[in-house]
A and B are shown apart, each in its own frame.
Chain A
Amino acid sequence: MTKKASVTISPKKSCREFAKKVKQLSGQNLQLCYQCGMCSGNCPAAPNMDISPRRIIELARLGLEEEIAGSRTVWVCASCLACAVNCPRGFDLSKVMEALRLLTLRKNVDRVRPEDIPPEKRSELPQIAMVSGLRKFTG
């Protein structure tokens, strides 16, 4: 599941501004997490992720923007909140995932372009899927 076994942390790579933005957007205190891994253990989307949910928190609080930017993890999170209700620290990881998605989407980079969904699929998908999907994957 994990993309890389180790990452290099250096003052050059670590961006305090990024960690601050994540904290502001999510309203979550990233220092609360003690890395127990309950979030990863309970996440039904974890098999589809390249960086585990637990590791995302660590990378975000270290301000390692580049490590997160290329990952598919935040895009396969379905905001099901299995992580949030099982966290012994009362930390809501779904809000951090949302903040990380928005930091990309707000650069006017959409994850899904409606015109790329085949027309037959577009008419078949229920509104609830289209509305929710486009809310999460477009800026």
Chain B
Amino acid sequence: MSLAYYPGCTLKTRARNLEEPAVASMKVLGLQLDEVPRWNCCGGVYSLAEDDLIHQVAPIRNLIRVKKQGKTELVTLCAFCLNTLKRANLLMKEDVEKRNTINSFIDEGLDYSGEVEVVHLLEVLRDYVGWDVVSQMVKLPLLGLKVAPYYGCTLLRPREVAIDNVESPVIFRDFLKALGARPVDFPESTRCCGSYQIVSSPDDIAEYARPILNSALSQGAEALVLTCPLCDYNLGEGQQELMKKNSGFRRMPQFYFTQLLALALGLDPKICHFELNYGKPESLLRIKNLLA
């Protein structure tokens, strides 16, 4: 089985440690990720203004290309891309007037009305593969690894595009359990990391990171696991800043969920590119005998 796959900009550069282990892991699980031909940037953020249709064009062009590819589902790894593509898709499904305007403007020779289903890789693992199958395929159970799943904003908000229950999500916890790790619930797992404020107010970023990291640490987490390259950057830079300011602040290794998947499936750790991670996760993995 193969699914259309949208990487997004950051996964081809800084976040190769999110993409490469995902593609390799899905192959092992019997699912081919077919990159959408000629994909373009989704725009990063969903346009929130009623009259701003021009910014819907970028995500919708990608969805049209998926339709042309003959696929019905589109998989994303990046939480931001998921949100923007899924909301744009919903707009095309539900608003006839805007749909008509956008279709006549784009003129790709194919009308689009929200036929593609946009899904996150965690949903694919839950709904297409199944946690029991994931668990059976695990060769190196991540025993004893206490990881806090950080959802951030865009996997769960707004309600109409959430991949799980908005108030008490469990998808990430179930994923970690299937890999044999010990998920650590923490109250700030859905609190915003500051997002694009890093561009306009970089000095505020450490204070966005502080309550999130402290909350995970106080619940006994040894590492944080993420899906979004912007969360990774903000929390990573934020913790470095906090350690500089306060020598007692403890380092928190950060993983992408796909790295833990590849590791547990017994794939070559080189494809995980741990060298690109914040918080030195390799030393933690060595302590836990999960890395040579």
Listed in ascending order, the chain A residues whose CB lies under 8 Å from chain B are 24-27, 44-45, 47-48, 75-76, 78-82, 84-85, 92, 94-95, 98-99, 102, 111-112, 117, 121, 125-137
Interface status of B262 (Cβ within 8 A of chain A): no
* Measured CA separation A126–B228 after assembly (Å): 11
Interface of B is mostly: loop
Bound Cα distance A56, B6 (Å): 37
The answer to whether residues A80 and B192 also contact, given A117-B199, A128-B230, A133-B199 and a CB cut-off of 8 A, is: yes
**CB < 8 Å A-B pair total:** 125
Partner of B229 from A112, A117, A126, A135 at Cβ < 8 Å: A126
* Given A94-B48, A127-B9, A132-B45, A45:B157 Cβ within 8 A: no
Minimum Cβ distance to chain A for residue B238 (Å) = 13
Which residues between 25 and 74 of chain B lie within 8 Å of chain A, taking CB atoms?
41, 43-45, 48-52, 55
Q: Check B153–A81 contact: CB distance below 8 A.
A: yes
Which secondary structure dominates chain A's binding surface? helix
The answer for the CA separation of A92 and B49 in the assembled complex, in Å, is 12
Supposing A24-B50, A99-B49 touch, asked if A78 and B166 sit within 8 A by C-beta, the answer is no
Contact A135 B157 (CB under 8 A): no
Asked, given contacts A128-B44, A128-B78, whether A79 binds B195 with beta carbons under 8 Å apart, the answer is: yes
Interfacial chain A residues near B196, Cβ < 8 Å: 78, 129, 132-133, 135-137
B45 touching A126, Cβ below 8 Å? no
User: Could you say which residues of chain B place their CB within 8 Å of the CB of A128?
Assistant: 8-10, 44, 78, 80, 228-230, 233
Taking A78-B195, A133-B197 as given, write out 9 further A-B residue pairs in contact, using a Cβ cutoff of 8 Å, ordered by the A residue number. A24-B50, A79-B48, A85-B157, A126-B10, A126-B13, A127-B41, A128-B8, A135-B44, A137-B200
How far, in whole Å, are A111 and B197 apart by their CA atoms in the complex?
12
Neighbouring B residues of A47 by C-beta, 8 Å: 207
> Do A27 and B199 form a contact, CB below 8 Å, given A80-B192, A126-B233, A132-B45?
no
